[in-house]
């Protein structure tokens, strides 16, 4: 049976909070097939047209009161109008009711405020858009607010930071359901970063490098990010870019601000960080799958890049129940 995803929207919601995760789930369904995908339903206080904050109007066929039966994943979006809607008792009570039947309860951006208003984040660690974190902390002291990560999992409850972080959250949910290879394929097809780890800061750039002006180099960046365990030595990368080694190294460094070797090392460190956070793989497997080869190299690169050992990072940032 397809997993039932109910996404709750309201007037003035952030369209990408809904559309980004919906596209992730839909593509995952296409890739998995065989009735093991996702069935997406939109719900609002009242069925009918609902207008996002950017003026785009969508058709919502189901009211919250009409949603019956078990729900696999409940997702509440955010938007500039969240402050108004968190005072709507029909919305809050409807979300509380559905959460009682859901295997997972999730929010994107300021949707965490509505979950908190419903009492669903009490005693839990949660995040939200950094602009809304102060409100979440001040208004709901029972919530352990962490404003830095792009998403946080606490038991069956997942909360994410602003807008694009909803895609990262959805990729994490797909990885939990179908494995990391399916999540990787979804990310590659959507041309987004491959499942940024939840512990990553909202304020950091995933690779710490500029996007090249050259399209072949942008494509090469994506190839490196998606294939950390491949042959990423300068001769192989230069050949893929159609340049001499010397010219490639000069142009890559000029356009990204880092050398090819440093970029590859950072990409592999990012992959290792993700694996440490969301898997129980031993360090030798993490080193191998991230392209770092051996645990000794993993340790050295991790200390140089993140200033923390792989073991300490896993103990601090590994997602619960992963």
Mean pLDDT of 220-243: 92
The answer to whether 58 and 49 have CB atoms below 8 angstroms apart is yes
Mean pLDDT of 288-298: 94
Mean pLDDT of 91-119: 97
Give residue 12's pLDDT.
Answer: 97
Average pLDDT, the chain: 90
Domain with CATH 1.10.10.60 in the chain: 207-322
**Per-residue pLDDT reduced to its tens digit, 132-183:** 999 999 999 999 999 878 899 999 999 999 888 999 999 999 989 998 888 8
d(CA 119, CA 113): 10
d(CA 122, CA 141): 8
Give residue 273's pLDDT.
Answer: 85
The answer to whether 259 and 252 have CB atoms below 8 angstroms apart is yes
The answer to whether 78 and 110 have CB atoms below 8 angstroms apart is yes
Give 16's pLDDT tier (boundaries 50, 70, 90).
very high
Mean pLDDT of 123-128: 96
- HSE, CB side, 13 Å, CA atoms: give it for residue 234: 14
Mean pLDDT of 2-6: 95
Residue 35 has pLDDT above 50, yes or no: yes
Pick from 6-20, 37-51, 69-83, 258-272: least confident: 258-272
Give 321's pLDDT tier (boundaries 50, 70, 90).
very low
The pair of structure tokens assigned to 26 is 């839909």
Domain with CATH 3.40.50.880 in the chain: 3-186
**Per-residue pLDDT reduced to its tens digit, 192-204:** 865 555 555 554 4
**Cβ neighbours for 131, distance < 8 A, ≥ 6 positions apart:** 162
d(CA 298, CA 264): 13
**Per-residue pLDDT reduced to its tens digit, 241-268:** 999 999 999 999 999 888 999 999 989 9
Give 291's pLDDT tier (boundaries 50, 70, 90).
very high
What superfamily would CATH give domain 207-322? Homeodomain-like (1.10.10.60)
Give residue 207's pLDDT.
Answer: 46
Give 315's pLDDT tier (boundaries 50, 70, 90).
confident
Give residue 187's pLDDT.
Answer: 86
Give 225's pLDDT tier (boundaries 50, 70, 90).
confident
Give residue 274's pLDDT.
Answer: 82
Residue 276 has pLDDT above 90, yes or no: no
Max CA distance (Å), the chain: 65
d(CA 62, CA 30): 24
Give residue 181's pLDDT.
Answer: 82
What would the CATH number be for the domain defined by 3-186? 3.40.50.880
């Amino acid at each position: 049976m397809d997993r039932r995803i109910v996404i709750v929207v309201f007037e003035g919601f952030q369209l990408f909070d809904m559309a980004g995760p919906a596209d992730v789930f839909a593509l995952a369904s296409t890739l998995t097939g065989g009735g093991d995908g996702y069935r997406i339903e939109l719900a609002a206080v009242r069925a009918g047209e609902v207008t996002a904050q950017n003026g785009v109007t969508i058709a919502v066929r189901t009211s919250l009161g009409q949603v019956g039966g078990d729900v696999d994943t409940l997702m509440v979006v955010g938007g500039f109008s969240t402050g108004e809607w968190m005072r709507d008792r029909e919305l809050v009570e409807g979300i509380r009711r559905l959460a009682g039947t859901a295997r997972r309860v999730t929010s994107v951006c300021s949707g965490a405020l509505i979950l908190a208003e419903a009492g669903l984040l009490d005693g839990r660690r949660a995040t939200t858009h950094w602009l809304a974190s102060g409100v979440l902390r001040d208004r709901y002291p029972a919530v352990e607010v962490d404003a830095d990560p792009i998403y946080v999992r606490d038991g069956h409850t997942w909360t994410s930071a602003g807008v694009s972080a909803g895609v990262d959250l959805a990729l994490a949910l797909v990885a939990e359901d179908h494995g990391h290879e399916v999540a990787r394929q979804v990310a590659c097809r959507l041309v987004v970063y491959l499942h940024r780890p939840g512990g990553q800061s909202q304020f950091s750039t995933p690779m710490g490098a500029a996007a090249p002006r050259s399209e072949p180099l942008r494509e090469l960046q994506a190839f490196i990010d998606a294939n950390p365990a491949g042959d990423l030595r300068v001769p192989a990368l230069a050949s893929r870019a159609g340049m001499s080694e010397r010219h490639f190294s000069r142009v890559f460094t000029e356009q990204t601000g880092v050398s090819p070797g440093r970029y590859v090392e950072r990409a592999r460190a990012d992959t290792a960080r993700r694996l440490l956070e969301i898997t129980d793989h031993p360090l030798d497997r993490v080193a191998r799958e991230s392209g770092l080869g051996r645990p000794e190299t993993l340790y050295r690169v991790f200390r140089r890049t993140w200033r923390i050992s792989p073991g300490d990072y896993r103990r601090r940032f590994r997602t619960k129940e992963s």
